[in-house]
Amino acid sequence: MIEQPDEGAPLDGGATLDVVSEGPEDTRRIAAVLGARLQAGDVVLLEGPLGAGKTVFAQGLASGLGVVEPVTSPTFTLIHEHTGRLPLYHVDLYRLGGVAEAGDLGLEEYLGGDGVAVVEWPGRAAGLLPGEHLTVVLSGGADGSGAESRRLRFVAAGQRHRRLLAALAGDLRPATGQAAGPDG
């Protein structure tokens, strides 16, 4: 279900779109719709507490990119590379102590290149991430109906990602029957 954005400014001055997912399969479906529209160089940042569904969202993105191999959390290896329509670089920075460690990973090589980078726990690499990106903030109990629902807030920074967000809103509209678009 697409919702009207909350009143007030978006998280970073970009366009926003709020979507409610009814459970993990819905989260994967929404992410797959986005993944089908991603292009080389796109960066998707996933924020939210442990258990919010960041890896589930990454699995959906992978599906939309045509990745057929299993996508799991790269918590211990930090970066998993997957082959699909475009390379998918799934990065999990949870175990990093900060920006210096992120720099030691060579993170810049995966951002804005030939594939799509999806980064969990992006705050641990603040300053290394490109200004143009799409942030997805996942939070639980979005509608109060149960633990399975999630609120997905999409925040676009930069023109490319603003256009991507507008296209996503249009793609999701037929599935929900609701007319709401990105704020911005």
Asked if the structure places residue 2 within a domain, the reply is no
**Sequence-separated (6 or more) residues with CB below 8 Å from residue 160:** 39, 42, 132
| pTM for the full predicted model | 0.82
- 182 located within any domain: no
What is the C-alpha radius of gyration for the chain, rounded to an integer number of angstroms? 15
Does residue 98 lie within any of the structural domains?
yes
Per-residue pLDDT, averaged over 74-91, amounts to 84
**How large a percentage of the chain has pLDDT more than 90?**
44
Q: What is the pLDDT of residue 176?
A: 46
Residue written as tokens 């992978």?
62
What average pLDDT does the segment 95-113 reach? 79
Identify the pLDDT of residue 74: 64
Q: Is 48 contained in some domain?
A: yes
Q: Is residue 7 part of a domain?
A: no
156 within some domain = yes
Range of the domain at 159: 14-173
Which one-letter amino acid corresponds to residue 159?
A: Q
The residue ranking higher by pLDDT, 73 or 158, is: 158
The H or E element containing residue 171 is helix 159-176
In a domain, 184, yes or no: no
CATH number of the domain within which 91 lies: 3.40.50.300
Residue 107 lies in a domain: yes
- How many domains is the chain partitioned into structurally? 1
